Amino acid sequence: MIEVTKISKSFDDIKAIDNVNARIEEGHVFGLVGTNGAGKSTFMRMLSGVLKPEAGEILIDGEPVYDNPASKEKIFYISDDQFFFKSGTPEDMVRLYRTCYPAFDREKWKDLTGKFGLDKSRKVNTFSKGMKKQLSVICGVCSGAKYLLCDETFDGLDPVMRQAVKALFIREIDERGLTPVIASHNLRELEDICEYVGLLHRGGILLEKDIDDMKLNIHKLQCVIREEEMLQKIRRSLDVVSVDNRGSLYTVTVRGEKEGIIEFMELLNPVFYELLPLSLEEIFISETEVKGYDVKALLF
């Protein structure tokens, strides 16, 4: 398990991470989503032990990660801005990683590079962005590391390869309890694989929840409202997050249990209403709007 307790990190006068707490359970996919400049990459670098928090602590299975080789063997970090030796080949990368990860599975690596169609003797700097991401994922999976930290790993992969990588993660979770931690701007990519999500905004985590629980407690209510009094009743009686409308058709984002919302709307008896689940992207927008990051204010 990864335990993050009240960590902070600044770069000169920029507060990249501010008093963040998180708990990442083993054997599950944890998604880290956030606004631009929210501190996702800084957070991932601290989890991997590359950066040292100015305050707080990060424990990997109860041990500190920074300046601790034993803990770092449990972590494989795939950065968004990848680095490879200028004239290095995939074979060269394997030789390097085997010095850092004693449990590196070379046979699995040969099998996966073959299935992904990667030439093991070709120079990596001639690979496309997507091929480099594939190579990094394969090396991470074969390293034997318990925690795989992925910073925008799906960026650059075509749809087929994205599904292949997700399937690979799921297989490794089932077989050996791999714990992928995936930071991404693309919420739709995370929705079908992540079980838990942390929402990072302006250096702090707004929430850290099970995705299914999040969807159970926030809903999109669409209804036809022709009287202002009916809208006011909805505002007074329900936990309203946001309201939007096109003519008499209103879309209201509300928190609460589905049964209670339906019971209230039946009593209100509007011309039409339906209750819809929110996507992860819609939940992200709703939660950040509450904290002052309003997309409408940015666009209009």
From first to last of its 300 residues, the chain has per-residue pLDDT tens of 899 999 999 888 888 888 888 888 888 899 888 767 778 888 999 999 999 999 999 999 999 999 998 999 999 999 887 778 878 899 998 998 999 899 999 999 999 999 999 998 899 989 988 899 999 999 999 999 999 999 888 877 888 888 899 999 999 999 999 999 998 877 777 777 888 888 776 666 656 667 766 666 788 899 998 888 898 999 999 988 888 888 889 999 888 888 899 999 999 888 899 988 777 777 766 666 655 544 444 333
At 144 the three-state DSSP class reads coil
The values of phi and psi at residue 276, to 5°, are -120, 145
Q: Tell the residue number behind the tokens 């992904």, with chain if given.
A: 116
Both tokens assigned to 295: 């997309």
Q: What is the pLDDT of residue 87?
A: 85
Neighbours of 116 (CB within 10 A): 16
Q: What is the pLDDT of residue 288?
A: 60
Distance, C-alpha 162 to centroid of its chain: 15
Length of the chain: 300
> What's the whole-model pTM score?
0.77
d(CA 216, CA 255): 9
